[in-house]
A and B are shown apart, each in its own frame.
Chain A
Amino acid sequence: MEIRPIFSALLRNKTAPLLVAIQVAISLAILTNALYIVNNRQAVSVRPSGVTDESTLFRLAIIPITPLNFNENIAQQQRAHQILKGIPGVLSVAATNQMPMTRSGSTSGVARDRKQVKSTPASDYYTSDSLVATLGLKLLEGRDFASDDVLESDPALSNEYPKVVILTQELARQLYPDAGSVIGKPLFFGTGNDAEEVRIIGVVERLQSVGADSSARGEYSTILPRRTDFAQYAVRTEPGQRDRVMKEAAEAMRKIGPAAVTIKTKTVAADRSSRYRSDMALAGLLVTVSALLLLITASGIVGMTTLWVAQRRKQIGVRRALGARKIDILRYFLTENILITTGGIASGLLLAVALNQLLVSQLELTKLPVNYMLAGAGIFWLLGIGAVYGPALRAASISPATATRSA
């Protein structure tokens, strides 16, 4: 197939091919970056939180309209435990101050040495039961808390601190990068003379922070054994029982008394979709726009080729009369289209890199990997061929007799 004649034909009538090439270039640049962003957001939203089987876990909070004093609070916690454990379908209950992915909770700076100046922020989970058991966290080293590890203290009266802590693997690596095992090593909450020293007794594989940040911070968490005035419970149910148990638990808790209370329940699955809602929304927008981009570019190619074919009816007729087969005409148009789209793709790739640079500098994106560019190029080659096939076939079926007639 002779490329030169096709090429020089294109050069003689530059406008239409140029327009197609520009459309391909713009679409490619936008599409590659959009798909990259979608993939990033998608990857962030499926990160495991550390909780095993999120579909059977929910949290329940009891909010009294009159704040209870410490002893009343502890008594309510004991009643709450009893009530919850008594509901059929409940496998395990843990009182806690916060849950991952809720974006609501406490963060403290931790360090390996009190003489350090900078500390690492980590979500500090408190529990008087076993978060490891209820949340299904994977304990890699060491042990879970025993009942005599749990410190019972009124924060209004004393600043006493628990003596032991469990932390996440990523936090352990961050603080003690050189150590083999961190069991038995100290951890300081805060720095300086006031810092609280605790001993590491366990390492869990993963427990995301309350914010589930997309940076490394999202994996830094500590768990402390403490019974204090929080009134939130993580409840693990049997498979399929979660919604029923949640309803029954809320009903039962409403009557926990003595004063009226507000009960708030939310499933971990709902926490996850709340946390990633805006990421998913943006991903949805980008996918929609990408689809529209492909559609519009395809329609542009179809339109241009149809016009092109209409303008060269006579020429096609003459060629056929001179002996060209249908397949030759088809091949001619396909080759022409590939040339145009290749030109568009080449400039589109450059544009994609430039756009990516802009996004990196302005909107905190990361650099576009090469395989997205290759994938984008592939998509548009296929799109071009697919779009031009129809008009090319129609061109090939132009009967030479009618085309060469002048009228």
Chain B
Amino acid sequence: MFKYYFMLGVRSLRRNPALTALMVLTLAVGVAASVSTLTILQVMSGNPIPHKSDRLLVPLLDNGSLKGYVPGAKPDDIQMTYRDAANLLASKQGPRRTVVYGIEGGIEPERADLPVVEVSGLAVSSDYFAMFETPFLYGGAWSEKEDGNKAGVIVLSRLQSEKMYGKANPVGKHVRLHSNDFQIVGVLDTWNPIPRYTHLLNGNGGSFNGEDGIFIPFSTAIRIEFGQSGSTTCNDHVTPGYQGFLDSECTWLQFWFESKSASDRVAIQNYLNAYAGEQRKLGRFPRNSENKLYNVTEWLDYLGVVRSDSKLSVWLSFGFLLLCLVNTVGLLLAKFSVRASEVGVRRALGASRAEIFKQFLIETAVVGLAGGLLGLPLSFLGMRIIADQSANLSVVPGMDWMMLGITFLLSVSASILAGLLPTWRACQVTPALQLKSQ
């Protein structure tokens, strides 16, 4: 009977095109709005590295002064000082660890008449690439030895390499950056984690936009006094000069540990507490506040990466879908009420109330399917528009199976929900009354 009812449903759609169009359109728009805002919200709050997110940890130390400090308050900055970063690097805690800071500059053109190549990226330790599982197109990362030697080596992103060298393999070539020579040792394949969780506080695009074009060793960046592109917070007197800056309590570096397993986290936490204790003996960390460790999802939460605007959009869309639902109920009522005589005939011929219920419910499901079909391209359009407008999302989420499924599921369940009342009404039709002429 299911196939028969399905066909009946499709046929009835054609019977009153205006009403059908209105119903399907209303449903499609409501579903499209909800699905597009929901997908964008999901992408923004998704876990960029789900299989490893609980093993990548950010330490948060508080080196702030006691001036105006209310116990329990958050640290002034999420970054750490050079002194602490260097010490944590040297600690060899966990199988891997890295420092990260943003850099921006210009690569000298090979000929004087060519323009400077503007680049932005990160100064990191050699472990960075393995820790965040960056894919390589050519070559590979530099080694720990090169970290130690403060070597002039550089890794390019795929986009950056193509901009400068086209499709050729540039490994081995040299570039001149910040008055220093750098040899290209690797080129990353396309890598766009959403959000850019390794370095959220960055000066070249923000959490969801832009990409890092170059990567150089942290030790080298310090050796050549490469300025930071990002945010620096200094609370106390800073001795002038670069060395003074390195020795100061200014915070400007981000740090990541990798732990062997979730339980290894405890060991790193203990190390952190012991380290803070030692530093307190030297007169630092006067606040003596809790030293925290955050894994990737906790870190994204702490920083409030997902803006309230995205959440507002989702709520708005669901409120809109609710309206569309109520509207559909009304339209379905109208549609079914004119078929009262048809129902009367079927009932007189022996159909039970349950059969009528099934028939009309399947009919609403057909409406839902039609709404879903129309809603799919509308959702894609909606996501495109929202992502473009907000300048917040450079990678437009694609139409994947998950989204396809959700669209149809939402559309069909919305229309079935809307159809319950009209269908129940249709079943209540008394055959006798309907069969009396007109």
A, B assembled together: yes
Interface string of B236-262 (1 = CB under 8 A from A): 111111100000000000000000000
**A-facing residues in B208-244 (Cβ within 8 Å):** 225, 227, 236-242
Given A19-B326, A22-B326, A191-B67, are A158 and B240 also a contact pair (CB < 8 Å)?
Answer: yes
A407 touches B438 (CB 8 A): yes
Least CB distance, B213 to chain A, in whole angstroms: 14
A194 touches B116 (CB 8 A): no
Contacts of B116 in A (CB 8 A): 65, 260-262
B390 touches A156 (CB 8 A): no
A65 touches B108 (CB 8 A): yes
Contacts of B238 in A (CB 8 A): 159
Contacts of A198 in B (CB 8 A): none
- B277 CB–A CB distance under 8 Å: no
CA distance A7 to B376 in the complex (A): 43
Given A289-B33, A303-B331, are A278 and B309 also a contact pair (CB < 8 Å)?
Answer: yes
Q: In the complex, which range does the number of interface residues on chain B fall in?
A: 35 or more
- A292 CB–B CB distance under 8 Å: yes
Which of A23, A159, A359, A407 is close to B323, meaning CB atoms less than 8 Å apart?
A23
Given A67-B227, A156-B240, are A285 and B311 also a contact pair (CB < 8 Å)?
Answer: no
B309 touches A19 (CB 8 A): no
Least CB distance, B66 to chain A, in whole angstroms: 9
B326 touches A282 (CB 8 A): no
CA distance A183 to B316 in the complex (A): 50
B386 touches A285 (CB 8 A): yes
Contacts of A299 in B (CB 8 A): 22, 26, 327
Interface string of A107-122 (1 = CB under 8 A from B): 0000000000110000
What count of chain A residues pass the 8 Å CB interface test?
A: 61
Given A65-B107, A299-B26, are A363 and B311 also a contact pair (CB < 8 Å)?
Answer: yes
CA distance A284 to B425 in the complex (A): 40
**B-facing residues in A152-191 (Cβ within 8 Å):** 154-159, 191
CA distance A16 to B239 in the complex (A): 77
- B334 CB–A CB distance under 8 Å: yes
CA distance A320 to B300 in the complex (A): 69
A63 touches B320 (CB 8 A): no
A34 touches B316 (CB 8 A): yes
Which of A30, A285, A311 is close to B337, meaning CB atoms less than 8 Å apart?
A311
Q: Which residue of chain B has the shortest Cβ distance to A285 in the bound complex?
A: B313
- B35 CB–A CB distance under 8 Å: no
Contacts of B337 in A (CB 8 A): 307, 311
- B392 CB–A CB distance under 8 Å: yes
The 8 closest A-B pairs by CB, nearest first: A65-B106, A281-B389, A66-B179, A117-B68, A281-B390, A307-B334, A194-B237, A19-B330
Chain B positions near chain A (C-beta within 8 angstroms): 19, 22, 26, 29, 33, 67-68, 105-109, 112, 115-116, 118, 176-179, 203, 225, 227, 236-242, 307-309, 311-313, 316-317, 319-320, 322-324, 326-327, 329-331, 333-334, 337, 386, 389-392, 421, 425, 438
Chain A positions near chain B (C-beta within 8 angstroms): 15-16, 19-20, 22-23, 26-27, 29-30, 34, 37, 63-67, 104, 117-118, 154-159, 191-192, 194, 254, 260-262, 274, 277-278, 280-282, 284-286, 289, 292-293, 296-297, 299-300, 303-304, 306-307, 311, 355, 359, 362-364, 406-407
Contacts A65-B107, A260-B108 given; 4 further ones with Cβ under 8 A?
A: A30-B319, A280-B389, A285-B313, A359-B312
